[in-house]
Amino acid sequence: MSEPEFFSPEWAAAVRDALAAGPTEQDRAGKLPMYWDFFEKVKAGYAASWALGCRGLGATLYVQWGGGTVTDCRVTGPGDGADATYVLGMDYADWQALHDGYDPQRTVMYRKILVEEGNILEFFKGIYFFTECLGVIGKVPAGFRALAAG
């Protein structure tokens, strides 16, 4: 079975399942229980939404959190998702690099993904949760045919 196209409805559904499940045991290994306790605490109380834009593709992945899980996860068109708590953007090539294994921490630190709208100090209170989720999203199988065509 071929993987769903990046930023397709099928891919968004797979992202939703992956985020709800959280990092795998393999991902959790090697990090202190204190770190994961913090992750779970943030996840349990997280009530914000992310509009994760893909520059160059004109699409956004809208993710709403609530009650310790993902309550909405869908691909929207240009301009949609502007009411999200945090609007973020990243180039298509950097999304693909994340998918190919580039580190989520450095994706943030090197400003490949940026908060375009939203309170940065509040966003960073959950940054370990966000970077782990970014890693989860990156590992969801996806086809990057648009880049190949471009």
Site string for another protein, 37-56 (x = CB under 8 A): -x------------------
22: Cβ contacts below 8 Å, ≥ 6 apart: 39, 43, 132, 136
**Which listed range, 64-72, 77-85, 90-98, 123-131, lies at the site for another protein (CB under 8 A)?**
123-131
Nearer to another protein, 34 or 149 (CB): 34
Among 114, 141, 145, 150, binds another protein (CB under 8 A): 114
Residue-wise burial string across 71-92, b where 16 or more C-beta atoms lie within 10 A, e elsewhere = eebbbbeeeebeebbbbbbbeb
Structure tokens at 145: 């045919």
Q: Are 103 and 126 in contact (CB under 8 A)?
A: no
Per CB under 8 A, 110 contacts another protein? yes
Nearer to another protein, 11 or 50 (CB): 50
Per CB under 8 A, 85 contacts another protein? no
Task: Please work out the total of residues on this chain that contact another protein, with binding judged by CB under 8 A.
Answer: 24
DSSP SS3 for 77: coil
- Residue 72 phi, psi dihedral angles, 5° rounding: -155, 135
Q: Are 141 and 6 in contact (CB under 8 A)?
A: no
Nearer to another protein, 47 or 150 (CB): 47
Binding residues for another protein, per CB under 8 A?
30-32, 34-35, 38, 103, 105-106, 108-111, 114-115, 120-125, 127-128, 131
